[in-house]
């Protein structure tokens, strides 16, 4: 199982629990980003590709060509993508419109005072933008969901190779803002409440808000596992376990949103 850094913590937890119950079929996990997992699924060096984004049309074609079977998508959970600031930042909420002006190419927001934070409250008025690297599914999802289809990122961001790295950097940088899965929150950061438009009610990235079908937390995305063709044998057994009561309970424990509550 290889891929998404957003999913690597839960994938490792799944594997650890599953392997204790099934020592004859050891599950191995590696991260590297959604793009890495998909590339390894194409070349046949992994059975399960973790991804926090959907496959691109050309990736679907390459799986079909190289593996002789169309990729199959398995939704195994959901993740609320949190927007993080330093714990001492007085800002509590922000809109997707405002985020697009901070992160988007041509955006006019570069200073904290432009979003209502008092000058010198953070030591530096300049906003330090933290992002994931461009091979990350989180990078691609944030670009589409927040900046809008066809708009690219503003140059000058700090790119991090892992979800945890984003949060760690924001925790060390009072002037920083970054995005990562809500399961990576630490005591050094604050997760902002989000609205789509400025002035609307802003929602926190919580399990309850992420589960709402309509009017919920605005940047909630599925956690995906791809296989080349329908899963069979040990891979199918593991996928069935992930989507069963024990696997979904692991999601809840780590701050993700289960597909099935099994209540």
* Residues 6+ positions from 38 with CB-CB distance below 8 Å: 3, 49, 51, 55, 59, 226
CATH code of the domain occupying 2-78+221-253: 3.40.190.10
Q: Classify 79-211 by CATH class.
A: alpha beta
With the C-alpha atoms ordered 114, 216, 79, 137, is the resulting torsion angle positive or negative? negative
The proportion of the chain whose per-residue pLDDT surpasses 90, expressed as a percent, equals 76
**Residue 213: predicted pLDDT:** 64
Q: What is the pLDDT of residues 69-110, one digit of tens each?
A: 999 999 999 888 999 999 999 999 999 999 999 999 999 999
How confident is residue 263, by pLDDT bands cut at 50, 70 and 90?
A: very low
Give the phi and the psi of residue 257 in degrees, each rounded to 5: -105, 120
Span 193-223, pLDDT tens digits = 999 999 999 999 988 888 776 778 999 988 9
Dihedral class, residue 204 (left if φ above 0, else alpha if ψ from -120 to 50, else beta)? beta
Angle between helices 245-253 and 8-21 (to 10 degrees): 140
The overall average pLDDT reported for the chain is: 93
Asked whether the domain spanning 79-211 has the same topology as the one spanning 2-78+221-253, the reply is yes
Q: Are 19 and 27 in contact (CB under 8 A)?
A: yes
In the chain, where the domains are located: 2-78+221-253, 79-211
pLDDT tens for each residue of 144-189: 999 998 899 999 999 998 889 999 999 999 999 999 988 889 999 9
**Residue 183, SS3 per DSSP:** helix
Q: Given this model, what pLDDT does residue 41 score?
A: 98
26: phi > 0 → left, psi -120 to 50 → alpha, else beta; which? Answer: beta
């Amino acid at each position: 199982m290889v891929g998404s850094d957003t999913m690597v913590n839960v994938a490792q937890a799944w594997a650890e629990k599953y392997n204790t119950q099934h020592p004859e079929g050891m599950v191995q996990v590696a991260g590297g980003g959604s793009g890495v997992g998909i590339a390894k699924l194409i070349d046949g060096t992994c059975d399960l590709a973790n991804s926090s984004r959907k496959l691109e049309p050309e990736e679907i074609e390459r799986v079909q060509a190289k593996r002789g079977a169309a990729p199959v998508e398995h939704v195994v959970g959901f993740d609320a993508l949190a927007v993080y600031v330093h714990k001492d930042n007085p800002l509590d909420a922000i809109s997707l419109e405002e985020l697009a002006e901070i992160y988007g190419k041509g955006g006019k927001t570069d200073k904290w005072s432009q979003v209502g934070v008092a000058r010198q409250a953070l030591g530096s008025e300049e906003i330090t933008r933290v992002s994931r690297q461009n091979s990350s599914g989180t990078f691609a999802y944030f670009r589409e969901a927040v900046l809008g289809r066809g708009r690219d990122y503003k140059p000058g961001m700090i790119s991090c190779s892992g979800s945890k790295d984003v949060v760690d950097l924001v925790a060390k940088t009072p002037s920083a803002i970054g995005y990562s899965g809500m399961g990576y929150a630490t005591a050094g950061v604050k997760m902002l409440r989000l609205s789509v438009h400025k002035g609307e009610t802003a929602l926190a990235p919580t399990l309850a808000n992420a589960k709402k079908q309509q009017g919920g937390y605005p940047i909630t995305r599925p956690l995906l596992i791809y296989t080349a063709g329908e899963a069979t044998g040990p891979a199918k057994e593991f996928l069935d376990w992930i989507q069963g009561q024990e696997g979904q309970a692991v999601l809840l424990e780590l701050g993700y949103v289960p597909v099935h509550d099994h209540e």
